[in-house]
């Protein structure tokens, strides 16, 4: 067969075989063009595999290790492909400061790395522009110092339950080794449910409680693998994915959590006791009788303030906090337990500080003010977050073209910051792999290079629950050390087995030996 009078195509290519060959050729041309994104812009990166990009390295090494290797090879800016989807990685503190602080007005949106469905667009995590500004203003007061101080009775109850459950577990078995990762997840679930929604679930005594299962399913990559891969392999069809789907999350988990939050809303309205002062109340207090209530990009800040949040808005933001509020803090507690088990000399010094509190064996002495005075606890916390930040990557999206420190960022680019690469860069942290709380001593803390430490992001769009997470983790650790020593068991892997699920960096198989003091 001839095309025109010049190109001869053998007979065996004509027909079905020819169609397949053509499709393969077109797909290869597509991925080749997509993978030229960084080359055309002069950005260095590892050679991507057709269609897979750098996913193989990310799966094999984890983003934490791969980012460190790329930063070492390429410096402060490099490229990374999720399949055919390009991400500009930033590991330079100076550019981090410019983007998160100085030029924040051009970078206040988060990137659409994965196309979220419409149901999530009004969550504080994903909202853009004025919608985000409104939601942040509404939710921020939940995490003020005064509000966190008022949560102490709840934290005390949850921590006392943690100790009781651990005691019961040790009494029933001669094995003193416990998977503390799972214990911390149930503790933080109890805390977030009580402090944010006034819901008592007692998942510590009932670890199979549906709350833990469903909230974890939302965060642990509940977007189906097929849709996730389509998003990465064919980023040009993101708008189509969004148009065709209502939601990609686990439907059972979404239905359960949606029903739970709505039930809490209805009970509040029915009782109208005014006894609550939490996240749910703040959201409900925004509501008015306006038939046009709800968060919308078509409204101004003042218009949203006048109409308030809709019940759908309240529910979806409630689910976000239920899912994320316990997993990140549980991951932090897991890493704290790991480093203390690995470094008994550090644990000894911290125990001395804990014992200096009055009433050693109770939570009566564990208050917001008392833990803020524990300098060595603060040093351990910050060094643990440097080595093992639960969120190893976070992103922003420029609203216009802008050049920062000689690098040109284009409107709509996915700008992703590697917390791991910055935190373990020897340029800013001598012997970066070594655990050394003295880096954060009062005299050394002043020497830390600005924005080389960003475990909770930075700027106006940093982690909204940062203060509560730190207080909760500190109180839990103090309560634990009042009663037990944490020792390394034979089943605890060193170096740690890192689980990078749902974007969270957390230790897996956290088998710690608990020895009663």
Q: What is the mean pLDDT of residues 450-478?
A: 94
Which structure tokens are listed for 309? 């949040």
Using one digit for the tens of pLDDT, what is the confidence trace for 492-510? 998 888 876 657 888 989 9
Q: Kindly tell me if the per-residue pLDDT of 124 is higher than 70.
A: yes
- The reported pLDDT for the residue numbered 49 is 96
CB under 8 A, 24+ apart: contacts of 158-162: 158/187, 158/190, 158/191, 158/194, 158/204, 159/187, 159/363, 159/366, 159/475, 159/476, 159/479, 160/363, 160/479, 161/190, 161/202, 161/204, 161/205, 162/187, 162/204, 162/476, 162/479, 162/480
- Whether residues 14 and 80 share a domain: the answer is no
| Ranges 13-17, 115-119, 308-312, most confident | 308-312
- Cα–Cα dist 365/226, whole Å: 51
Q: DSSP state, 100? A: I
pLDDT band at 360 (very low <50, low <70, confident <90, very high): low
Using one digit for the tens of pLDDT, what is the confidence trace for 285-330? 888 877 788 999 899 999 999 889 999 999 889 888 887 778 899 9
- Whether residues 20 and 53 share a domain: the answer is no
**Residue 143 or residue 9, greater confidence:** 143
- The reported pLDDT for the residue numbered 98 is 97
Residue count of the chain: 517
Which structure tokens are listed for 106? 């051009």
- The reported pLDDT for the residue numbered 143 is 87
Which structure tokens are listed for 329? 């803090």
Query: Got the DSSP string for 133-194?
Result: HHHHHHHGGGGSHHHHHHTHHHHHHHHHHHHHHHHHHHHH-S--EEEHHHHHHHHHHHHHHH
Which structure tokens are listed for 119? 């149901």
| Ranges 141-145, 355-359, 472-476, most confident | 472-476
The average confidence (pLDDT) of the chain is 88
Percent of the chain with pLDDT over 90: 56
- Whether residues 139 and 266 share a domain: the answer is yes
Percent of the chain with pLDDT over 70: 90
Contact 420, 443 (CB under 8 A): no
- Whether residues 208 and 263 share a domain: the answer is yes
Q: Kindly tell me if the per-residue pLDDT of 361 is higher than 70.
A: no
CATH number for the domain including 239? 1.10.630.10
Q: What is the mean pLDDT of residues 202-209?
A: 84
- Whether residues 15 and 106 share a domain: the answer is no
CA 294, 297, 298, 304 torsion: positive or negative? positive
- The reported pLDDT for the residue numbered 252 is 81
Residue 35 lies in a domain: no
Residue 412 lies in a domain: yes
- Whether residues 7 and 101 share a domain: the answer is no
Which residues are CB-neighbours of 168 under 8 A, at least 6 positions away? none
- Whether residues 186 and 209 share a domain: the answer is yes
Q: DSSP state, 202? A: -
pLDDT band at 14 (very low <50, low <70, confident <90, very high): low
- The reported pLDDT for the residue numbered 513 is 96
- Cα–Cα dist 314/106, whole Å: 28
- The reported pLDDT for the residue numbered 353 is 95
pLDDT band at 222 (very low <50, low <70, confident <90, very high): very low
Q: Kindly tell me if the per-residue pLDDT of 224 is higher than 60.
A: no
- The reported pLDDT for the residue numbered 304 is 93
Using one digit for the tens of pLDDT, what is the confidence trace for 245-272? 666 677 788 888 888 888 888 888 887 6
- Whether residues 84 and 161 share a domain: the answer is yes
- Cα–Cα dist 20/317, whole Å: 46
Which structure tokens are listed for 32? 């080749």
Q: What is the mean pLDDT of residues 196-223?
A: 75
Contact 349, 380 (CB under 8 A): no
Q: Range of 6's domain?
A: 1-30
- Whether residues 18 and 58 share a domain: the answer is no
Into how many domains does the chain fold? 2
- Cα–Cα dist 13/448, whole Å: 64
Contact 334, 507 (CB under 8 A): yes
- The reported pLDDT for the residue numbered 7 is 53
Residue 283 lies in a domain: yes
- The reported pLDDT for the residue numbered 456 is 95
Residue 476 lies in a domain: yes
Using one digit for the tens of pLDDT, what is the confidence trace for 16-36? 777 787 888 889 999 999 999
- Cα–Cα dist 365/368, whole Å: 10
Residue 36 lies in a domain: no
Contact 382, 453 (CB under 8 A): yes
- Whether residues 16 and 162 share a domain: the answer is no
Residue 305 lies in a domain: yes
- Whether residues 10 and 57 share a domain: the answer is no
**pTM for this entry:** 0.91
- Whether residues 501 and 377 share a domain: the answer is yes
Q: Kindly tell me if the per-residue pLDDT of 200 is higher than 90.
A: no
């Amino acid at each position: 067969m001839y095309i025109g009078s010049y190109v001869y195509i053998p007979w065996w290519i004509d027909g079905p075989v020819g169609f397949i060959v053509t499709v393969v050729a077109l797909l290869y041309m597509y991925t080749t063009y997509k993978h030229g994104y960084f080359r055309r812009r002069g950005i260095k990166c590892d050679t991507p595999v057709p269609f897979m990009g750098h996913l193989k390295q990310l799966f094999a090494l984890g983003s934490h290790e791969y980012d460190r290797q790329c930063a070492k090879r390429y410096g402060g800016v490099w490229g990374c492909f999720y399949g055919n989807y390009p991400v500009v990685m930033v590991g330079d503190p100076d550019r981090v400061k410019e983007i998160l602080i100085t030029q924040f007005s051009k970078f206040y949106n988060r990137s659409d790395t994965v196309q979220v469905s419409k149901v999530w667009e009004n969550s504080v995590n994903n909202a853009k522009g004025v919608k985000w500004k409104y939601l942040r203003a509404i939710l921020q007061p939940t995490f003020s110092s005064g509000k966190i101080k008022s949560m102490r009775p709840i934290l005390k109850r949850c921590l006392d339950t943690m100790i009781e459950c651990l005691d019961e577990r040790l009494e029933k078995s001669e094995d003193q080794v416990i998977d503390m990762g799972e214990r911390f997840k149930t503790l933080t679930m109890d805390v977030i449910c009580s402090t944010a929604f006034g819901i008592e679930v007692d998942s510590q005594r009932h670890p199979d409680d549906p709350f833990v299962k469903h909230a974890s399913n939302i965060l642990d990559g509940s977007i189906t693998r097929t849709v996730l891969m389509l998003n990465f392999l064919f980023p040009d069809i993101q708008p189509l994915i969004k148009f065709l789907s209502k939601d990609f999350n686990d439907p059972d988990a979404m239905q359960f959590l949606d029903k739970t939050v709505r039930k809490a809303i209805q009970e509040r309205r029915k009782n109208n006791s005014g006894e609550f002062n939490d996240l749910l109340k703040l959201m409900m207090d925004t509501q008015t009788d306006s038939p046009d209530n709800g968060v919308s990009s078509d409204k101004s800040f003042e218009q949203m303030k006048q109409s308030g949040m809709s019940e759908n808005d309240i529910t979806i933001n409630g689910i976000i906090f239920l899912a994320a509020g316990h997993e990140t803090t549980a991951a932090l507690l897991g890493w704290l337990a790991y480093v203390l088990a690995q470094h008994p000399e550090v644990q000894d010094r911290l125990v001395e500080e804990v014992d200096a509190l009055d009433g050693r064996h109770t939570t009566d002495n564990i208050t917001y003010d008392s833990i803020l005075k524990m300098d060595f606890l603060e040093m351990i916390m910050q060094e643990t977050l440097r080595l093992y930040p639960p969120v190893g990557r976070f992103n922003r999206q420029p609203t216009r073209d802008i050049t920062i420190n000689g690098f040109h960022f284009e409107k709509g680019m996915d700008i992703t910051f590697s917390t791991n690469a910055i935190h373990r860069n020897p340029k800013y942290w001598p012997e970066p792999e070594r655990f050394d709380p003295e880096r954060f001593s009062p005299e050394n803390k002043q020497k830390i290079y600005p924005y080389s430490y960003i475990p909770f992001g930075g700027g106006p769009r940093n982690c909204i629950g940062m203060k509560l997470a730190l207080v909760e983790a500190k109180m839990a650790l103090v309560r634990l050390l009042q009663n037990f020593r944490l020792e390394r068991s034979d089943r605890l892997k060193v170096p740690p087995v890192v689980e990078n699920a749902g974007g969270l960096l957390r230790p897996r198989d956290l088998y710690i030996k608990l020895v009663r003091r």
